[in-house]
Amino acid sequence: MAEITITKENFDDEVRNYKGVVLLDLWASWCGPCMMLSPVISEIAEEMDGKVKVGKINVDEQPELAAAFRCESIPMLAVVKDGAVHNMAVGYREKDNIIKMLNL
């Protein structure tokens, strides 16, 4: 499954009320490290399909969500399980490191 674009309109359905694990990638098109991380996030979305939902939040288009996550630097990853944030990381991460974040 491909990544889902998360907006303030679909956040409750896709993240807050979702029973399971969601990996959120907070990013922007002008951010070099975000662009480096994007293919890694896509790989995780494909490989963990059915186990983890992967969403992308464009911080320029969704400033309210960025503020809700207290996002001051990107890329930022957030792991949400059953509506609660369990893990966060800022900056580029290797795939193995991200997968370890998902093992709650």
Q: What are the tokens at 96?
A: 């193995």
Rounded to whole angstroms, how far apart are CA atoms 99 and 102?
A: 5
- Strands 52-58, 4-5: pairing kind: parallel
Instruction: Determine the Cα–Cα distance for residues 89 and 74; give it in Å rounded to an integer.
Output: 9
Catalytic residue among 6, 34, 78, 80: 34
34 labelled catalytic = yes
Domain coordinates in residue numbering, the chain? 4-102
Catalytic pick from 4, 31, 88, 89?
31
Q: Is 71 a catalytic residue?
A: no
* Helix, strand, coil percent content, the chain, rounded in steps of 5: 35, 30, 40
Q: Looking at the domain covering 4-102, what would its CATH class be?
A: alpha beta
Give every residue of the chain whose pLDDT is below 50, as ranges: none
pTM for this model (two decimals): 0.94
